[in-house]
Amino acid sequence: MTEKILIIDDDVDTLRLVGLMLQRQGYEISAASNGSQGLAKAMEERPDLIVLDVMMPDMDGYEVARRLRKNPTTQAVPILMFTAKTQLDDKVTGFEVGADDYLTKPTHPTELQAHVKALLARSSQKEEKDTDGIVTDSHEHQGYLIGVVSARGGLGVSSIVSNLAAGIYSRMQSDVILAELTPGHGTIGMDFGYHNPKGLTEILQGTVAEVTREKVEASLSPHNSGLKLLLASGSPRDVTLTSQVQNYEALITRLSTLARFIVLDMGNGLPSFVQKILPTCDECIVVLDGMTSTIQHTKLLIEDIVGLQVDPGKISVVLNNRMRSESQMQLSQVQEKLGHSIAATLTPAPEAFQQAVRLQTPAVICQPTNMTSQQFLKIADTIIEREKSQ
């Protein structure tokens, strides 16, 4: 298989000459003329090697390298910094941000080819067999899975999932996937302006063998918030697809290799697919409000989740006070009746959420200083810290 090299350089002459030079050696060449375009191509094409210029106007090579190394999809791709900056400090900075090799311009074609060949050979050796003799691709990394569920509908799971995912993205600027796993009950796509989304439906309708990494990646819809969305349809007849448990399992396995964080909207209750997926999550967020009946149902839900062999320490409870009502209990009362600590409380902000729907974006994005948005960001910060400590 021909190895692909992505060249990121704002100098058109360099792109053409270096590209031609390497093409003659049998490599497949892709080019980007700035840092932002280079990051997008690296994510989309997953090259075997990146040749990266340092001095670019919109985003220098150091920042590009930092972002490549933070992203699970690109953090293992070898980077050859190819630049006119010759000072020792420049080279040290290059290695500190994640470059694997450093070559100064101008260079002889033979020298460039030797460096490229050595980096590609070194990278191929990283595909090692694990203890069971299965080959593991060094490009594939396991993302941090966050499952969000409630005891019944109408508690704001979808709003929490979308704002939590947006909060994580705003903090990390690395890939975050928001996956809606409730066919027939999809609302996120409608709120974000997508008409008749079919991403989840197409994955669940096929065979398990068809749930490939490429198909799952192609099913993701980009959003202007920076999130990648896997959306469920709102067509009631699609609810029967929840029986495709094996497809769900394959889907989650694929999603976990496509982003650093994957936030899962699991809807309400514990249908069979949720019972299979939830134990694989790095943490589970249970949503409730301060109504007596909800607290009782949520207590039973948590007991059942623990019964699935989910570590109680991985279960966080979020009290979502969606409406201003005196009938809802205070935090201390909810904790006492629930028998479980409350990790976070969200204050009512109906106006902020209504504006978010009008703008087809999460409230965290359109009203970042709002009190409720700040509460989402605090939850996101806690999750990020737990992910880093893994």
| Contact residues for 111 (Cβ-Cβ < 8 A; gap 6+) | 103
Q: What is the DSSP letter of 111?
A: H
Give the model's pLDDT for residue 40: 87
Question: Please, what is the Cα angle at 170 between 169 and 173, to 5 degrees?
Answer: 60
| Contact residues for 83 (Cβ-Cβ < 8 A; gap 6+) | 53, 54, 55, 61, 90, 94, 102, 103, 104, 105
Full set of structural domains in the chain with CATH? 4-124 (3.40.50.2300), 144-388 (3.40.50.300)
Question: Cα 145 to chain center, whole Å?
Answer: 9
Which residues of the chain are modeled with pLDDT < 50? 127-139
In this prediction the pTM is 0.65
Give the model's pLDDT for residue 319: 96
- Helix/strand/coil percentages in the chain, nearest 5: 45, 15, 35
CA distance 227 to 224: 7
Strand partners, 174: none
Give the model's pLDDT for residue 86: 61
